[in-house]
Amino acid sequence: MKEKKRAVLVAFSVKSRMFEGHYERNKIFRGLYGWKQMVRKEIIVGEKHKPKEKVYTYRREGLLDEIPHEKVDQSSFIVPENKFDKIEKFMKEWRNKVMWKAFKVLLEDEDIFDEEEPEEESEEEEVEE
């Protein structure tokens, strides 16, 4: 018989009217899921040449990058029960602007939170345009 893993399903909804703008509202999603930052720089090659633009891409991590999880939907995910305290702390920081619920669940799939070796991702990616 398979051993069941204890986990927590977290579902949340933002109270859009409580945020000062889109930037503040997006901070919760970035804080959880991370984001890709793109920085454009103009490089001057020489006097006779037109300046070139280079784009540098950086992956900025969110809380769920350090916690094994299974994303169910944009605003719901499952984490191991023993990692839930970090999620709870994060959600409580947003308590006035986010409604959230946590449900204890038992998972039969033993491999759902098994840590895989992450692919090495370069810290900086250079793209010429």
Model pLDDT for residues 79-108, shown as the tens digit of each residue:
999 999 999 999 999 988 999 999 999 988
Extended strands (E) in the chain: 5-14, 35-43, 52-60, 70-73, 76-80, 98-107, 125-128
Q: For residue 16, what pLDDT is reported?
A: 84
Q: What are the sequence ranges of the domains in the chain?
A: 5-128
Residues 6+ apart with CB under 8 A from 60: 30, 34, 35, 36, 37
**Tens of pLDDT, residues 17-75:** 888 888 888 899 999 999 999 999 888 777 777 788 889 999 999 999 999 999 998 89
